[in-house]
């Protein structure tokens, strides 16, 4: 086995380009492992775990970019390094035919694209707030993709943005769509009458995809970052987004998507919609929670979209429709000893929603991101478990599972050997930024593990007909592999619970 590194001193590329380089290298035949990343302490530790020596790593610092490959021979390693470098540093061609290199600073980017109105900031958290402040000072809205930004920095940024009448979407905002332009991980949707405000990435994607598939469309999607509705951040961007959408002539209904916010923040923010109808889809909301009069509330993503359609006077389609085997057929195929559910999620919000819905039927469900901290990992024997594989402990040294499904392929095979597991739950997230064919990678393993007496696979495809992967094509691949494919993420969790408990009616519960 051969290892090699290529180091680019004092060079930073954002995480999207790093992931593009990683993917390009891993696709080269003969490559066992590869990564493109910054030389941070955590990434150096990962290199050591992967068998790279002190001589390999010598000289790498936090401000340096590296490419690292382990492969079967020198030819495979060199081909991978070349492929990764091309993927990250390829020159772009301007409209005049001249080559334009990737800008190395905000000022350089603005010189190349003088008409820009939004800055996407995706640098290490220690530097992200400074770059976002620079962008705001230049009159730009900001999508702050970076994680590891402190709460105090977030508050300062959002106060700065509010003074300038600008948005700071984030930190940790992976999805937005302004005036039809998707940012980060975004689905391709038709223009429509609903404005979405979301403190959740895949929650925003689920809302916009369902609205599009159900014939309504979207005016804008404003990402907030997961902490905006906390007591500390006090809904600063949610308030600004509500005011902006309230005054937007293209927006007739506002849909707010979040995990349950701080109660005082919810009261303040939800009162700002004015005469524009507001639906709040607050996943796992306590039945005892109070909300302002006139706000339509749901505790699931599906329920929020259905209530939005109700406000518009549009009937929602049949959300209980399944593709593939029926629930009854799946129950008949599962060995009696199999009684638990294993969720392998790429979307953190979808995992959270599954924990809520499964918990109502199965009782406690364990997770690396538990709702109730008593049910964190490790899980006891014979327990149901839902994992958010996008969390840091699973992405260290490898791409996010929405970008590269390889980690889930490995875990699927392991779960298939667990004699307790009755159902495997999967989300397949489409759109810009996601893998070009996630179902194509997952389907063969689903078919392999779900034979007679094996666990059944229930999948949900989050996407639209215009997404580059092709929604119907992705659904077909999973159905052909023997999976049950549901209409919404919530229905996938309910269907899994129905199979595990042998109660078919659970799959059609009212949400």
* Strand ranges for 346-455 from DSSP E: 366-367, 385-388, 421-429
Is the pTM for the entire model greater than 0.75? yes
Whether residue 202 contacts residue 430, with contact meaning beta carbons closer than 8 Å, is answered with no
Domains of the chain and CATH, by start: 2-92 (3.30.1360), 106-312 (3.40.50.261), 322-508 (3.40.50.261)
Residue 204 is given by DSSP the state H
For 339-398, write each residue's pLDDT tens digit. 999 999 999 999 999 999 999 999 999 999 999 999 999 999 999 999 999 988 887 767
**pLDDT computed for residue 94 by the predictor:** 46
Question: How high is the pLDDT of residue 118?
Answer: 95
What is the β-pairing status of strands 99-100 and 92-93?
antiparallel
Which residues does the chain have with pLDDT short of 50?
91-95, 97
Burial status of residue 318 (CB atoms within 10 A of its CB: 0-12, 13-18, 19 or more): exposed
| C-alpha span between 284 and 203 (Å, rounded) | 13
Tens-place pLDDT, residues 439-472 = 999 999 999 999 878 899 999 999 999 999 999 9
């Amino acid at each position: 086995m051969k290892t090699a590194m290529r180091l680019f001193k004092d060079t930073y590329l954002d995480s999207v380009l790093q992931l593009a380089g990683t993917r390009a290298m891993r696709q080269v035949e003969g490559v066992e492992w590869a990564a493109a990343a910054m030389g941070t302490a955590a990434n150096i530790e990962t290199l050591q775990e992967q068998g790279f020596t002190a001589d390999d790593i010598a000289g790498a610092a936090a401000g340096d970019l590296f490419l690292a490959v382990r492969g079967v021979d020198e030819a495979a390693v060199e081909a991978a390094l070349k492929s990764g470098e091309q993927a990250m540093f390829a020159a772009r061609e301007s409209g005049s035919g001249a080559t334009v290199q990737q800008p190395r600073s905000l000022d350089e980017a603005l010189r190349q694209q003088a008409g820009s109105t939004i800055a996407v900031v995706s640098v290490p958290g220690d530097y992200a707030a400074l770059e976002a402040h620079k962008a705001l000072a230049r009159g730009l809205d900001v999508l702050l993709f970076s994680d590891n930004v402190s709460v105090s920095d977030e508050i300062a940024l959002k106060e700065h943005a509010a003074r300038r009448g600008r948005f700071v979407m984030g930190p940790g905002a992976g999805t937005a769509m302004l005036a039809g332009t998707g940012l980060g991980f975004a689905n391709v949707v038709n223009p429509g009458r609903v404005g979405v405000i979301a403190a959740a990435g895949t929650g925003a994607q689920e809302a916009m995809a369902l609205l599009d598939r159900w014939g309504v469309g979207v005016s804008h999607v404003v990402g907030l970052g997961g902490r905006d509705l906390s007591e500390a951040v006090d809904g600063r961007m949610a308030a600004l987004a509500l005011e902006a959408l309230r005054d937007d002539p293209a927006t007739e209904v506002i849909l707010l998507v979040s995990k349950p916010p701080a109660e005082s923040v919810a009261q303040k923010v939800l009162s700002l919609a004015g005469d524009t109808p507001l639906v709040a889809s607050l996943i796992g909301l306590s039945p005892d929670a109070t909300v302002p009069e006139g706000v339509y509330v749901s505790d699931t993503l599906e329920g929020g979209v259905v209530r939005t359609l109700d406000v518009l006077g549009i009937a929602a389609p049949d959300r209980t429709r399944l593709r593939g085997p029926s629930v009854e057929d799946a129950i008949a195929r599962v060995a009696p000893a199999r009684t638990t559910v294993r969720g392998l999620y790429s979307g953190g919000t979808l995992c959270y929603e599954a924990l809520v819905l499964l918990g109502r039927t199965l009782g406690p469900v364990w997770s690396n991101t538990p709702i109730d901290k008593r049910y964190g990992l490790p899980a006891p024997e014979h327990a149901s478990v839902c994992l958010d594989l996008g969390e840091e402990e699973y992405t260290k040294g490898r791409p996010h599972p929405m970008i590269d499904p390889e980690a889930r392929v490995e875990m699927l095979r392991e779960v298939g050997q667990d004699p307790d597991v009755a159902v495997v739950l999967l989300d397949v997230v489409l759109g810009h930024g996601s893998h070009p064919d996630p179902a194509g990678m997952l389907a063969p393993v689903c078919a392999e593990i779900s034979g007679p007496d094996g666990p059944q696979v229930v999948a949900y495809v989050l996407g639209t007909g215009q997404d580059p992967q092709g929604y119907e094509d992705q659904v077909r691949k999973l159905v052909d592999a023997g999976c049950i494919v549901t209409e919404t993420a919530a229905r996938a969790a309910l269907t899994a619970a129905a199979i595990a408990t042998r109660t078919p009616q659970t799959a059609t519960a009212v949400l």
